[in-house]
Structures are given as C-alpha cells and as structure tokens.
Amino acid sequence: MADNSSNIVGWIVAGGGGTLIGSIVTAFIQTLGARGKDRASAADVSVSAATRMMDRLQSENLKMREAIVLLTEVLDDVIDDLNVPEAAKVKLRAANKQAKIAAV
C-alpha cells in the first residue's frame, strides 16, 4: 500500500511540476521571441504566467488535501466493519495514518 501512495504522490508532483516547467519555458520563449517589447514588459509576462500557474497549483493542492481528509474520515468510519482479515485492517490503518499525515 505504501508503494501505491508513493506512486500517486510522485504522479501528482510530476504532473504539476511538468506543467509549471512547461509554462515557464513557454513564457521564456515568448519573452525571447517578442520583438518590439522592452525587457520590463517581457519580464512582466513571465512573472504573470508563473504567478497564474502557482495560483492554480495551490488551488489544486488544497482540493486534493480536502479530498484526502474526507477519504480518511470515511475509512475511519468503516474500517472496523470491513469483512477482511485483521492483517488487511492493520495495513489499511497504517495507510490511512500516512494519508492523514500527508494531508496536513
């Protein structure tokens, strides 16, 4: 179960990080290719693009954290009622605890 949570976190970070890097590279290329614009204007475009991307990533991060909290609360409510071996419940509790720590 720990491997799956690591893969999910890695996927989220890689996806968001790739998007951020792509946006910054795009803004950089536009800055270099923009003829007739002064450097201050080009820098404003780059900063604006990076700011919008960071705002979007922060919003997505908050939504994911809220979803993790909700899922861990549901798991807390049903884990004892599950018809699975006790060893599986122990693993679920450990995974649930790690998810709660990650959502803080």
Asked whether the predicted pLDDT for residue 17 surpasses 80, the reply is no
Residue 3 has pLDDT above 70, yes or no: no
Find the mean pLDDT for residues 78-99. 94
Residues near 55 by beta carbon (within 8 Å), at least 6 away in sequence = none
Give the whole-number percent of the chain exceeding pLDDT 70: 63
Comparing 6 with 75, the larger pLDDT belongs to 75
Q: Burial of 23 by CB count in 10 Å (0-12 exposed, 13-18 middle, 19+ buried)? A: middle
What DSSP state is assigned to residue 40?
H
Asked whether 73 and 56 are in contact (CB, 8 A), the reply is no
Sign of the torsion formed by the C-alpha atoms of 64, 68, 74 and 79? positive
Residue with tokens 């899922």: 71
- pLDDT confidence band for 66 (50 / 70 / 90): very high
